[in-house]
Structure formats: structure tokens, C-alpha cells
């Protein structure tokens, strides 16, 4: 072999990528083991490991203990999205952030909410609806249920000037959660609040977070038409 | 200090998370350096490093060379989405996958496409429109432009039985790209193809991929109402 030596894991990664692209290593193929690649590339085995790990994280390689590393047969692209506090997201776009509370009450939620949050059907939760604005225009409607058994401090908070979105991010961290992205038609009420046509296509983010076994909060964010969530691949 | 010793990076991570949640380390605070934490936790410095790296990747810590590690002042949740080949996505949901080519031609694209793909305004590209089905129902419309200077093999491919989505994933890997998620209203034509009401809210994925400096393909995928992209946090 006439391979030049590789100094860092990025150059090893580039060479591995080149072989996958050139189909010298085809989808499903087992590639040489790390020790052999380290010898071929004239680098440390840990350098090869770092490069293969990175390619496995992007879904181009499948690594199985004892079996070895294969070129992914069904490559999956992975996109990582940053889910920021809405105020920060608006300000990062250079716009002026605004906030309006629409409603706040303590109520028994619909069964779809208590079911998802695994609260008792007759447990009262804190319900907050608010409008986030960018340059005085509607940006997103937040419709949120908060489990006040898990976040008792929220009960004292009126959410008049700070959104639940921002307050919870600071005061009620979660250990894990679920997030879903979809499209939804604007209801008459939401369309009116946003100042958009009824049935407009809105980008929706539904998020449910947990602190160990108990749910913290369930929120639906509806963004005004034109909103895009972007990231690199 | 009376801290028990920590054997693995996950237990170090749990303890760091606990301190952040309990606000022993508040947002914006500089936390002790790795060497001091390793002594406190009675573990290797590399174990502390692994734990802090993982927390930084999830946006809970900000690490700056020479400055040190702070609790993130503006915590950002990160969601990782798997973008699979549509056929695999449909089959993973236990549905029968179907595919119909709508149109295939070689044409000069609109300026919005050549501009984004950085092709010359009069370069001809391969344009493919197709319908993906799940259990014989419309699932997604694919509207795609392919740079045939970069992927010349695509010109011989009719996309009658294999979608461009699947073919490209196998034959034209990319080095990087951009992806955007949004909501769009169904046009009259798309609504007719999908069998849904005009102006229905559709979930849209726009993706543009690159191989080094040249664009490979630009695609818009429009999913039928009810589609959700889900992941864990």
C-alpha cells in the first residue's frame, strides 16, 4: 500500500469517507479492523477509533461489538436541532422580543394531557397560554400544562412578564423528554390571536419533559406561517 | 468533603446534573476544573472529562478553552433527528411501502433553485417528482433537483421503480448539507395528488446536500396531514 500517513482523526475520517463514496467499501461491507487501519494509515489506533466513532455517529458506519464495523446498509442522516428559549431565538435573529400572557389558571386538564403526563385524571395542573412576539408581530403561541406537584414554585408565578417557556428552563430542569414536530391548521381562536388567516399552516412543536418518573410539563408551540427550523447535516 | 467515589462517567454526570438541578451550581457559574473534580470524585480525570463533554453536548454546560466550564446561562435543548430513506421509515412503521413517479425531466430550474444549488443559471438539472405511499395511501410528495454534473449516473436512471430519495442515498453520498423543517399549505396540484383538501397544513422538509464545493441535490418533501417527526430529548 502506498497510503500516506494520517496525522489527525479528521484526515482519517476524510479518507474513510472517500472510500465509502468511491464504493471501494460498499454499503453493508465489513471494513478492516482498527488495528489494521492504524497500521495502514500510520497513526495511533485511538485516532482511527475517533474517526470511525464520528462516522458512526453520523450514521455512515454501523459498529457492532465483536462483529466489527460495516458501512451502513441503510444510511440515516442525523440532524441535530437546538431548541432554545423562544426569547433567545427571537433575539438571535436580531428582532425585538415581546411577550403577552393570554390566560393562566389551575384546572383539570383534558384526558389527553393527563394521560400523556401520567397525572391522575382529577389532578389539577397549571395551564398557561401566552403569545411570543418578534418586532411586535406574533411569533408563536405557547399552550402549556405544568405539573405543580413536581414544580410547586410555579404556582406562585403569574407569568405576566416572564414566559413559562423561559421560567421553566431556568427553574425546572428535566432529565429527559420527547419532542415532536408537525404541521397544524390554525384554529379560529389561534388565527385571531396571531392575526393570520384561519386554517393557515402552522409549524407545531410538542414537547413533554420528565424529571425521573414524574412529568414536568407538556407544551405545544405554534409558530406563525413562514417559520423554519434549520440546521446543518 | 464527604463525596463517595464515582466509578464511571455516568455516575459523575448524574452528580453534576444533581448539582445543577439543585442550583448548587447556578446558571452562569464557573464550576471547578477537571483536575479538582477528579480528586473530589475519586476518579480519573478522563472520567470527569467524559461526563462534562456529554453535558456540554446536551447544552447544559459551556466549555471554553483557557476559561473553564460554566453552567449554561441559556440552556439549549438538543434534539437529534434521524432522517431515514422514506421507504425504510414507512416499513419501520409496519406499513406497506409504495412508490409512483409523477414526472421526470431535464430542465433549467427556477432561479431560486439554481441560486441555492450554486449552479449556473442556464445549467440543466434533473427534475424528479414522485409520490411515496404507505398502505396505498399518499405519504409524501418528493420534488427534487439533481445536479447531473456531480451525479452523472442519475441521468441514466428513470426512477420508475426506485425513488431518487433511495437511489441517491446509495449512489451519491454527500459530505455536508442543510435541512429545514416548516409547515406549508397544500397547493391545488399537491392536494389533488395526495387526495387531501386544498390548503391542508403539510409538514415540509427542505434539504440541500453538497459534495465538497458542488451541490448534489435539493429536495422538498411534503408529508400528508398527521405526519409527525418525533425524537427523545
And the C-alpha cell for B122? 442556464
How close is the nearest chain B Cα to the Cα of A186, in Å? Answer: 9
Given an 8 Å threshold on Cβ–Cβ distance, is B227 in contact with A84? no
More confident residue, A218 or B78: A218
Kindly report, residue by residue over A91-132, the tens digit of the pLDDT: 988 999 999 999 999 999 999 999 999 999 999 999 999 999
List chain A residues with CB under 8 Å of B74: 84-85, 88
A 184-213 residues with CB below 8 A of B?
A: 184-185, 199-204, 207, 209, 211
CB environment A159-185: b (16+ within 10 A), e (fewer): beeebbbbbbbeebbbeebbbebbbbb
Residue of A nearest to B79 (CA): A81
Complete domains list, chain B, with CATH? 9-71 (1.10.10.10), 86-223 (3.40.1410.10)
A-B contacts at Cβ under 8 angstroms: 158
pLDDT at residue A203 is higher than 70: yes
Q: What is the pLDDT of residue B1?
A: 44
Q: What is the pLDDT of residue A2?
A: 44
Q: Please, which pLDDT band fits residue B185 given cuts at 50, 70 and 90?
A: very high
Q: What is the pLDDT of residue B119?
A: 96
List chain B residues with CB under 8 Å of A229: 180-182
Q: What is the pLDDT of residue A17?
A: 82
Q: Which of B165, B174, B182 to mutate to test the interface with A (most CBs of A within 10 A)?
A: B182
> Percent of chain A, pLDDT > 90?
62
Q: Does A18 touch chain B (CB under 8 A)?
A: no
pLDDT at residue B147 is higher than 80: yes
pLDDT at residue B130 is higher than 80: yes
Which of B88, B176, B233 shows the shortest C-beta gap to A233? B176
Q: Please, which pLDDT band fits residue A57 given cuts at 50, 70 and 90?
A: confident
Given an 8 Å threshold on Cβ–Cβ distance, is A178 in contact with B225? no
What does DSSP say about strands A137-146 and A125-134: parallel, antiparallel, or unpaired? antiparallel
- Containing A80, the helix (H) or strand (E) segment is strand A77-83
A 44-83 residues with CB below 8 A of B?
A: 59-60, 74-83
Nearest to B43 by CA among B83, B3, B98: B3
pLDDT at residue A32 is higher than 90: yes
* DSSP states of B23-81: TSS-TTPBPPPHHHHHHHHTS-HHHHHHHHHHHHHTTSEEEETTTEEEE-SS--EEEEE
And the C-alpha cell for A35? 488495528
Lowest mean pLDDT among A58-67, A123-132, B39-48, B79-88: A58-67
Q: Please, which pLDDT band fits residue B213 given cuts at 50, 70 and 90?
A: confident
* DSSP states of A136-196: TEEEEEEEEEE-TTT-GGGGG---SSS-HHHHHHHH---SEEEEEEEEEEPPHHHHHHHT-
Q: What is the pLDDT of residue A118?
A: 95
Q: Does B84 touch chain A (CB under 8 A)?
A: yes
- DSSP-assigned letter for residue A48: H
Give, in degrees to the nearest 5, the angle at Cα B192 between B189 and B196: 120
List chain A residues with CB under 8 Å of B21: 173, 211
Residue of B nearest to A82 (CA): B78
**Spatial distance between the Cα atoms of B90 and B227, rounded to a whole number of angstroms:** 11
B 87-106 residues with CB below 8 A of A?
A: 88
Residue of B nearest to A28 (CA): B170
Q: Does A132 touch chain B (CB under 8 A)?
A: no
Mean pLDDT of B25-47: 90
Exposed, middle or buried, B4 (CB in 10 Å: 0-12/13-18/19+)? exposed
Give, in degrees to the nearest 5, the angle at Cα B166 between B164 and B172: 75
Q: What is the pLDDT of residue A76?
A: 67
Amino acid at each position: 500500500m502506498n497510503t500516506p500517513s494520517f496525522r489527525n482523526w479528521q484526515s482519517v475520517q476524510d479518507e474513510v469517507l472517500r472510500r465509502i463514496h468511491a464504493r471501494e467499501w460498499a454499503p453493508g461491507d465489513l471494513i478492516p479492523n482498527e488495528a489494521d487501519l492504524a497500521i495502514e494509515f500510520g497513526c495511533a489506533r485511538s485516532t482511527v477509533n475517533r474517526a470511525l466513532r464520528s462516522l458512526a455517529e453520523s450514521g455512515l458506519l454501523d459498529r457492532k461489538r465483536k462483529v466489527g464495523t460495516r458501512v451502513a446498509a441503510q444510511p440515516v442522516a442525523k440532524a441535530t436541532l437546538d431548541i432554545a428559549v423562544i426569547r433567545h431565538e427571537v433575539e438571535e435573529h436580531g428582532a425585538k422580543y415581546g411577550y403577552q400572557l393570554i390566560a393562566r389558571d389551575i384546572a383539570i386538564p383534558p384526558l389527553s394531557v393527563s394521560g400523556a403526563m401520567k397525572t391522575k385524571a382529577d389532578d389539577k395542573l397549571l395551564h398557561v397560554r401566552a403569545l411570543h412576539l418578534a418586532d411586535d408581530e406574533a411569533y408563536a403561541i405557547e399552550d402549556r400544562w405544568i405539573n405543580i406537584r413536581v414544580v410547586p414554585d410555579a404556582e406562585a408565578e403569574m407569568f405576566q412578564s416572564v414566559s413559562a417557556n423561559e421560567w421553566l428552563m431556568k427553574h425546572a430542569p428535566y432529565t429527559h423528554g420527547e419532542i415532536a414536530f408537525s404541521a397544524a391548521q390554525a384554529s379560529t381562536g389561534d388565527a385571531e390571536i396571531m392575526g393570520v388567516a384561519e386554517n393557515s399552516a402552522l409549524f407545531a412543536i410538542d414537547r413533554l419533559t420528565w424529571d425521573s418518573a414524574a412529568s414536568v410539563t407538556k407544551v405545544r408551540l405554534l409558530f406563525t406561517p413562514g417559520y423554519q427550523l434549520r440546521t446543518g447535516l
